[in-house]
Structure 1
Amino acid sequence: MSNYIKIFSGSFIEVQRIFSELEKINICAIIKDESESARLAGFGTFGQGFQEIHVHKDELDRALKAIKTLSTELQE
């Protein structure tokens, strides 16, 4: 069982913005990019795929609160 939980998936720009905000509050997030993994393995990819952000289960509540706050700020 993995100790990391997916909390967000989206475009490269969205993921980078959220990842940066999580770093500011000392949350260690991991970006998972299936298209990049496929490219490195020698498989072709079509366009820029979606990426995922994963956080350790111990930081889940703080990370979800940060994402909620960020999305509220972006909508204003």
Structure 2
Amino acid sequence: MALKKIFSGSEIIAAGLQQKLEEIDIFPVVKNNLQAARVAGFGNIGQAVELFIEERDLPKAEKVIENFKMNL
């Protein structure tokens, strides 16, 4: 399973994109760096959440990702 990063940014925006992808049966892997840093006792600045999808789902997801980013 090869993963492709499709988003880095805030947790709130990532959740919105995740929801849009799940509506078309694509379930992204969420890497929450902010949560991981907090549990470890460290702070974190910058791109806190990353979304990844399988490369085979990329063609199906591209239009949803593009439309989502255009409406931010």
| TM-score, normalised relative to structure 2 | 0.81
- Larger Rg over CA atoms: 1
Structural RMSD (CA): 2.1
Q: Distance in 1 between matches of 2:34 and 2:9?
A: 13
Matched, 1:17 2:20: no
Aligned sequence identity (%)? 26
CA–CA distance in 1 between the matches of 2:38 and 2:63? 33
Gaps of 5+ in 2: none
- Report the CA distance between 1:71 and its aligned residue: 2.6
User: Which contiguous aligned blocks of 4+ residues in structure 1 show a shift greater than 6 angstroms?
Assistant: none
Q: Distance in 2 between matches of 1:63 and 1:57?
A: 10
